[in-house]
Amino acid sequence: MESGQPVFEAIGLTKKYEDETLALDHVSFSVRAGEIFAMLGGNGAGKTTTINLFLNFIEPTEGEARINGIASHKDPLTAKRNVAFVSENVMLYPNFTALQNLDYFSRLGGKTQYSKENYHAVLRRVGLQEEAHTKRLRGFSKGMRQKCGIAIAILKDAPAILLDEPTSGLDPQAGFEFIELLRSLRDDGKSILMSTHDIFRAKEVADVVGIMNRGKLIMQKHAAELAGHDLEELYMKYIAGHIRDAA
């Protein structure tokens, strides 16, 4: 793929659920390699719907969600090979240790080349304390499970990373460390699309911030355009403006 091509691309992405809820209304954006795009927006704005469309968990009513140029609903297998997903509630095996979970999910994804040392190394990278590597996940805190989830995503070594509210429920230090980790993945050339309710962290880490409201992307700005602005104020202004316009 030519450099500078979008890794994530939403083109007129529209989703109307069976009950006629218009969850997404012609949303378009792109995220390149080495870029973090943070989606902000209130409950029900359409963030998870957007993520689920990229993963082909649901089909678009109109438009396309492309990963590396591949429309997710047309070639889901290839599209999914190019993306690693970390959900808010990481689904891992409670009876397996951290190492066993990494091994299981890597093999499931067709990666058989990793050694035990590779697993230890990635768990160190995500900041999981050494003694937890060989413990069953059953007793892990949310932050520890999140670290295992992102470790599995790193091992998948996909160019695209999708995260749905990755820092929700993490304590301040874990949230900070997670953001540092996203930065290092971005520096490795990954393209990252995440949803979050954390305006402060979004401003801190994102190269582009998008604000969604009732299925529409009502603001999209690069970090440089946001510098010197209070993103929280901007967020309130955009949402209020959108509600006014809709009235």
Of 13, 1, 34, residue with least CA distance to 160: 34
Q: Distance (Å, rounded) from C-alpha 55 to C-alpha 245?
A: 32
Could you say which residues in the range 46-105 bind Mg ion, by CB under 5 A? 47-48
Q: Is 45 in the site for ligand ATP (CB under 6 A)?
A: yes
Structure-token match 């993103």, residue found:
231
Q: Distance (Å, rounded) from C-alpha 48 to C-alpha 32?
A: 20
Q: Is 210 in the site for ligand ATP (CB under 6 A)?
A: no
Of 39, 84, 38, 40, residue with least CA distance to 183: 38
Residue 48 or 167 with smaller CB distance to Mg ion: 48
Q: Is 167 in the site for Mg ion (CB under 5 A)?
A: no
Structure-token match 């202004």, residue found:
237
Min dist. Cβ of residue 98 to ligand ATP (A): 27
Residue 118 or 220 with smaller CB distance to ligand ATP: 220
* Two structure tokens written together for 197: 């309710």
Q: Is 147 in the site for ligand ATP (CB under 6 A)?
A: no
What is the sign of the dihedral through the CA atoms of 5, 88, 23 and 43?
Answer: negative
Q: Is 97 in the site for ligand ATP (CB under 6 A)?
A: no
Q: Is 19 in the site for ligand ATP (CB under 6 A)?
A: yes
Min dist. Cβ of residue 169 to ligand ATP (A): 13
Beta-strand runs (E) in 56-177: 62-67, 70-71, 83-86, 160-164
Among 13, 23, 70, 182, contact with ligand ATP (rule: CB under 6 A): 23
Q: Which residue is nearest to Mg ion (CB)?
A: 48
Q: Is 48 in the site for ligand ATP (CB under 6 A)?
A: yes
Min dist. Cβ of residue 194 to ligand ATP (A): 12
Among 1, 12, 17, 233, contact with ligand ATP (rule: CB under 6 A): 17
Q: Which does 57 bind (CB under 5 to 8 A by kind): ligand ATP, Mg ion, none?
A: none
Q: Please, are residues 81 and 158 in contact by the beta-carbon 8 Å criterion?
A: yes
Q: Which does 21 bind (CB under 5 to 8 A by kind): Mg ion, ligand ATP, none?
A: ligand ATP
Q: Distance (Å, rounded) from C-alpha 174 to C-alpha 179?
A: 9
Q: Which does 127 bind (CB under 5 to 8 A by kind): ligand ATP, Mg ion, none?
A: none
Residue 46 or 166 with smaller CB distance to ligand ATP: 46
C-alpha dist (Å) from residue 105 to 72, 98, 140? 22, 11, 18
Q: Distance (Å, rounded) from C-alpha 141 to C-alpha 148?
A: 11
